[in-house]
Structures are given as C-alpha cells and as structure tokens.
C-alpha cells in the first residue's frame, strides 16, 4: 500500500509522471533491493559510504555487506537485519524508481521527508507506513479517538479488500460525516452488546470492479446482481469481524441490504474511509453505537 500512497503523491507533486509511476510499479515486481539502498534509507550508512562500498565491489570479489563490515560501517547483526528487509514494499519501490532513473535516491528520500511534513506524521508513523503492513498503516489515516471496535471493523474491511479484491488497493484520509448521497449502495447492521453498521458506496466503476472480482463474473451496470455481490462482500467482512471480536462483544449480523436507486445514507458520526481499487474510489462507511440508514 505504501508504494501506491507515496507513488500517487509523487505524481500529484509533479515529481513523477503517471507513465513513470506505472513503469516503476511494473519494475518493482522484478527487483531485488540492493543492500546499499536499504542501509541508506535505514540511516545506517550515508550515501557517500554506500557509493564507496559499491566502487570497492568493482575491484573486490566480496559482497556489499562483507565490505561494509570490514570498513566498520555496519555490524554483522545490522547486515542480517538489512537482508531481511529486501522484500519490503517501500524499498522495492525506491529501487524501481532509482533504477529507472526517474529520481536519485537523495531526491526520493527528500520527497519522502516532504510527504511526512505534508501528512504531519511522526517518525514512528513513517516507520509504520514504510512497513507496508495495512494493520499499521490504516490507523494513521483514521481520525483520533476512534472506538477500538470500529477500528478493528475497518481493518478487517481493508484486509479483505487487499486479499480478495485488489492487492494494490490503497486508502485516503478518513473523515466524519453525517450523510452521503450515492447511486448504488450496500449496508449491513450488527446488533447485540453494541450497535455497528458497515456500508459501501462508490462510483459506478468502483462498485462494478468490487462486485465483479468478488463474484468472479463481469457486470455491466449497477443492478440487483452487482449490488448483491457487494452486499455479500460486506457480509463476509462482518462475519470475519464478528468472529474476531466474539471474545469481547456479542454481535448478531442482520441480513445485508442494498439500494439500486440514488439514496442518501445518514447516521450519527459516520466514519468515511476512501479506498481506491483499480484506480477507482469506494467509500467504506462505519458507525459504532448507531446505525446507517437509507
């Protein structure tokens, strides 16, 4: 997810073109991150030290890590840790961008620092973002003070989207709303110790994309069949959620419902999380101790 979030920021900031971003994504699946790049991004070596070791590799039949240890730049423990990061999504994206010559490593890191300032994130937040772990990333984009159960429901929804619909999906910043108007929506309420609702709305292409992938068939329009697929997706999410929190709270799932026509969904303090799948925007809506009504 971090490659999509940061990559789209680079395009919006004019540092990459859309075509370059697509090429970087394609390259990312094939690259193995160089140890020097990891060491620099992890602040364990300077760029100058990394370049020095790279030059020494040209005349010495030794690995980067071995030379760095001999020079006193890294310990053997640090080299082992860096080797474990070679599949990290942020690092493979950095390698793809720099290998293609779109940005230098210094430009890439400076842009990431600027991205941090734009988001007002702490260093700990950025470490979570760089991890590529959706469970650590999603809470960064939620409003402060969210109920723990609501956070868990949203995490399950995003995890399920990534696993079943689009592994390259990414999110935007969530907000609190009281209503949203949409053509084509699906929702489900859970009752019991707490009252929780989950709904999905979005533009036509986003709804059809989710419905088609989940049902494994192609839909041409927002109709009963496509929205039934979206409703079943929500039912799947809530089933996983209710099972996961069963030791803490008792919840009964009501049947999911959907609306083909344009309706306004209302509720108290609805959490609205934008999610982008195949470049199209969906809205995940969640309430806690309340319901979303159409």
Give the helix ranges, DSSP H, for the chain: 2-12, 18-28, 35-41, 47-57, 64-70, 76-83, 89-99, 105-119, 123-131, 134-137, 148-160, 204-215, 224-244
The tens digit of pLDDT for each residue in 9-23 reads 999 999 999 999 999
Evaluate whether residue 209 is within a structural domain: yes
Q: Are residues 97 and 166 in the same domain?
A: no
Task: Quote the pLDDT of residue 240.
Answer: 93
Note whether 149 and 240 are same-domain residues: yes
Tokens linked to 35: 């140890």
Q: Are residues 160 and 27 in the same domain?
A: no
Are the CB atoms for 93 and 2 separated by under 8 Å? yes
Domain's final residue, options 97, 112, 137: 137
- Verify that 122 and 81 share a domain, yes or no: yes
- CA dist 212 and 82 (Å) reads 40
Query: By CB neighbour count within 10 A (0-12 exposed, 13-18 middle, 19+ buried), where does 172 fall?
Result: middle
Intervals of the chain under pLDDT 70: 58, 61
Query: Can you give the residue range of the structural domain that contains 92?
Result: 2-137
Residue 241, token pair as written in the block: 């959620």
Same domain, residue pair 100 and 41: yes
d(CA 55, CA 73): 15
Residues 83 and 193 in one domain: no
* Digit-coded pLDDT (tens) for 146-164: 999 999 999 999 999 998 9
The pLDDT value given to residue 292? 77
First to last CA, the chain: 32
Note whether 153 and 282 are same-domain residues: yes
Residue 193 is assigned to a structural domain of this protein:
yes
pLDDT at 28: 87
Give the pLDDT of residue 37.
Answer: 86
For the chain, the domain total comes to 2
Question: Residue 265 and residue 67: Cα distance in Å, rounded?
Answer: 61
Domain assignment of residue 294, yes or no: no
Residues 153 and 35 in one domain: no
Whether 61 is covered by a domain: the verdict is yes
- Residue 228's CB is within 10 A of a number of other CB atoms, namely 15
User: Does one domain contain both 282 and 156?
Assistant: yes
Tell me whether residue 238 is in a domain: yes
| Residue owning tokens 């992890």 | 42
Burial of 241 (0-12, 13-18, 19+ CB in 10 A): buried
Report the DSSP pairing between strands 257-277 and 175-192: antiparallel
Q: Which of 77, 71, 78, 32 is nearest to 50 (CA)?
A: 71
3-state secondary structure of 258: strand
CATH number at residue 250: 3.40.1550.10
Does residue 110 share a domain with residue 89?
A: yes
pTM: 0.80
Q: 112, 137, 162: which is the final residue of a domain? A: 137
The answer to the question of residue 62 being in a domain is yes
Secondary structure of residue 279 in the 3-state scheme: coil
Structure-block tokens of residue 265: 């969904």
pLDDT tens track for 31-72: 777 888 889 988 899 999 999 998 898 677 678 899 999 999
Identify the H or E element spanning 174: none
Distance of CA 181 to the CA centre of its chain: 25
pLDDT at 12: 95
Q: Which residue has the tokens 């344009």?
A: 262
Residues 201 and 179 grouped into a single domain: yes
Phi-psi region of 120 (alpha: psi -120 to 50; beta: other; left: phi over 0): left
Q: What is the pLDDT of residue 174?
A: 96
Residue that finishes a domain, picked among 96, 117, 137: 137
Residue 17 lies in a domain: yes
Q: Does residue 293 sit within a domain?
A: no
Same domain, 116 and 180: no
């Amino acid at each position: 997810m971090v490659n999509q979030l940061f990559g789209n920021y680079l395009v919006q900031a004019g540092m990459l073109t859309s075509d370059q971003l697509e090429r970087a994504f394609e390259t990312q699946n094939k690259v193995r991150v160089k140890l020097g790049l990891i060491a620099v991004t992890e602040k364990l070596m300077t760029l100058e030290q990394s370049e020095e070791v790279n030059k020494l590799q040209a005349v010495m039949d030794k690995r980067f890590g071995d030379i760095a240890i001999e020079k006193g730049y890294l310990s053997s423990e640090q080299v082992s840790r860096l080797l474990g990061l070679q599949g990290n999504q942020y690092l493979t994206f950095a390698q793809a961008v720099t290998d293609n010559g779109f940005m230098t490593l210094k430009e890439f890191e400076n842009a990431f620092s600027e991205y941090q300032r734009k988001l007002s994130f702490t260093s700990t937040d950025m470490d979570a973002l760089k991890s590529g772990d959706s469970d650590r990333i999603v809470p960064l984009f939620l409003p402060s003070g969210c109920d723990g159960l609501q956070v868990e429901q949203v995490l399950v929804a995003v995890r399920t989207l990534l696993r079943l619909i689009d592994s390259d999906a990414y999110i935007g910043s969530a907000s609190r709303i009281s209503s949203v108007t949409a053509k084509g929506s699906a929702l489900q309420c859970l009752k019991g110790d707490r009252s929780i609702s989950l709904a999905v709305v979005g533009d036509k292409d986003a709804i059809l994309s989710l419905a088609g992938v989940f049902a494994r068939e192609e839909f041409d329009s927002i109709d009963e069949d496509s929205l039934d697929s979206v409703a079943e997706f929500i039912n799947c999410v809530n089933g996983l959620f209710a099972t996961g929190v069963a030791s803490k709270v008792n919840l009964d799932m009501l049947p999911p419902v959907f609306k083909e026509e344009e309706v306004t969904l209302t509720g108290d303090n609805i959490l609205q999380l934008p999610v982008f799948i195949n470049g199209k925007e969906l809205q995940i809506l969640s309430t806690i101790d309340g319901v979303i009504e159409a």
